[in-house]
């Protein structure tokens, strides 16, 4: 089927209606620019939802994929492979972790983490230590277990009985968490910055307090760094900036720069609970995925890239605050690194989608985080000229929404 025969209407006729994608269909990307079927150019501030950390078709990724494509595509975990082992070694050398489990998506990595903490509790304390606590407005994936642990009932309601012994506390509220915890608590799962929940960073005191409470009750601390990991916040992983070391960490999204790959990282102490046969993945550790991820991870984990993320954050923040001074649409600009949220004020509450659509019409791709927050997750190496031009287009979109156009 040629490109001319592929239309947005085809989506409605052949796809399950889980998504409602934009009318335009991108067909080519290079760096932080994307072109649709009609040849119209867009600046990409969405980054595939914090995935395209090196933009589109970066030579580092393309070369790694092409080289591996001529060697080995897939084996399954009946056998191991060199790219998977090299990537696992890289992850353990650069983080707190000593052991790695590979998967294909953030949800799968989180599923593995949740199964690990439950099994560890059973092995070491007994089946009654089963409580998992996470946070309201959190997001941990779309499997039934992870969507239940995520603190947004709109995503988990309507599918029948949910996995039990899961409770939710208020984010950045240590007293509320402590009121829920006891010796029955198996684990606390948290994002170091809530993404889907509105780009809300964890307070350092709160994060350290969560760690202390977990230690007090022999509970494990799980950091979901699916969105914040691999340089997104200006650190390799956000836990490093908080000064808190988790027992388990999950990473995906930017790990492969656009190639589906994920990992659960943990310690020698916990890993034995997932002994042979307790968990698995057919595609996890795929040679193609791991070869690309190794190249992406090594490129990102440099002072130049990580310091550049901090610098680019300030460019976004300064520009968004200038726009707000002119149009008075945001109550707050928040976030860290290149995970930036602009929260709409009361006058524009619930209208995030209007701003998104107007911005796409002006030639910039962006995201929302709920009905009240505009989300920016561009390439970590987006050129400053693209930031300037993309935000100029965004400002034109804001002006049109404010004018009621």
Residue positions in the annotated binding site?
106-107, 139, 142, 224-227, 281-282
Would you tell me how many other CB atoms lie within 10 Å of the CB of residue 174? 18
What is the rounded distance in angstroms from the CA atom of residue 40 to the CA atom of residue 37?
A: 7
User: Tokens 């050398």 belong to which residue?
Assistant: 93
β-strand partners of 332: 343
Beta strands in 125-182 (DSSP E): 131-135, 166-169
Q: Residue 404: CA atoms inside 13 Å, Cβ hemisphere, count?
A: 1
Residues serving a catalytic function are 139, 224, 253
What is the rounded distance in angstroms from the CA atom of residue 254 to the CA atom of residue 226?
A: 8
Q: Give the orientation angle of helix 287-300 with respect to helix 303-327, to 10 degrees.
A: 80
Q: Is 66 helix (H, G, I), strand (E, B) or coil?
A: helix
What is the rounded distance in angstroms from the CA atom of residue 94 to the CA atom of residue 97?
A: 8
What is the rounded distance in angstroms from the CA atom of residue 97 to the CA atom of residue 243?
A: 15
386 in Cβ contact with 43 (< 8 Å): yes
250 in Cβ contact with 138 (< 8 Å): no
What are the residue ranges of helices labelled H in 203-302? 204-216, 238-242, 287-300
- Helix (H), strand (E), coil (C) string for 314-334: HHHHHHHHHHHHHHCCEEEEE
Sheet holding 131-135, edge to edge: 99-103, 262-266, 248-251, 220-224, 185-190, 131-135, 166-169
């Amino acid at each position: 089927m040629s490109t001319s025969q592929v239309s947005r209407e085809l989506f409605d006729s052949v796809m399950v209606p889980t998504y409602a994608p934009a009318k335009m269909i991108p067909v080519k990307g290079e760096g932080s620019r994307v072109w649709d079927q009609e040849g119209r150019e867009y600046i990409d501030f969405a980054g595939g939802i914090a995935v395209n950390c090196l933009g589109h078709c970066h030579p580092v990724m393309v070369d790694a994929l092409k080289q591996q494509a001529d060697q080995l595509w897939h084996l399954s975990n009946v056998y191991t492979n060199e790219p998977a082992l090299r990537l696992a070694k890289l992850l353990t050398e650069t983080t707190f972790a000593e052991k790695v489990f590979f998967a294909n998506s953030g949800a799968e990595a989180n599923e593995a983490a949740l199964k690990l903490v439950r099994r560890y509790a059973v092995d070491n304390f007994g089946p009654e230590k089963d409580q998992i606590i996470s946070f309201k407005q959190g997001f941990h994936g779309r499997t039934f277990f992870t969507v239940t642990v995520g603190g947004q009932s709109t995503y988990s309601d309507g599918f029948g009985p949910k996995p039990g012994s899961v409770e939710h506390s208020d984010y950045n509220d240590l007293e509320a968490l402590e009121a829920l915890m006891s010796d029955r608590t198996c684990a606390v799962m948290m994002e170091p910055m809530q993404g889907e929940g509105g780009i809300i960073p964890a307070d350092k005191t709160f994060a350290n307090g969560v760690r202390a409470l977990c230690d007090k009750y022999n509970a494990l601390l799980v950091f979901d760094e699916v969105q914040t990991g691999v340089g997104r916040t200006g650190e390799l992983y956000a836990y490093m900036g908080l000064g808190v070391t988790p027992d388990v960490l999950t990473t995906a999204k930017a790990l492969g720069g656009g190639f589906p790959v994920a990992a659960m990282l943990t310690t020698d102490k916990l890993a034995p609970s997932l002994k042979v046969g307790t968990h698995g993945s057919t595609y996890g550790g795929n040679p193609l995925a791991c070869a690309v991820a190794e190249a992406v991870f090594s490129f990102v984990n440099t002072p130049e890239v990580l310091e550049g993320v901090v610098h680019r954050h300030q460019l976004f923040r300064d520009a968004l605050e200038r726009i707000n001074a002119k149009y008075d649409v945001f109550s707050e600009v928040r976030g860290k690194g290149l995970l930036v949220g602009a929260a709409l004020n009361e006058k524009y509450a619930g209208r995030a989608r209007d701003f998104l659509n107007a911005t796409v019409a002006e030639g910039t791709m962006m995201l929302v985080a709920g009905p009240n927050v505009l989300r920016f997750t561009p390439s970590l190496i987006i050129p400053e000229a693209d930031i300037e031009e993309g935000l100029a287009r965004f400002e034109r979109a804001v002006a049109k929404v404010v004018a009621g156009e």
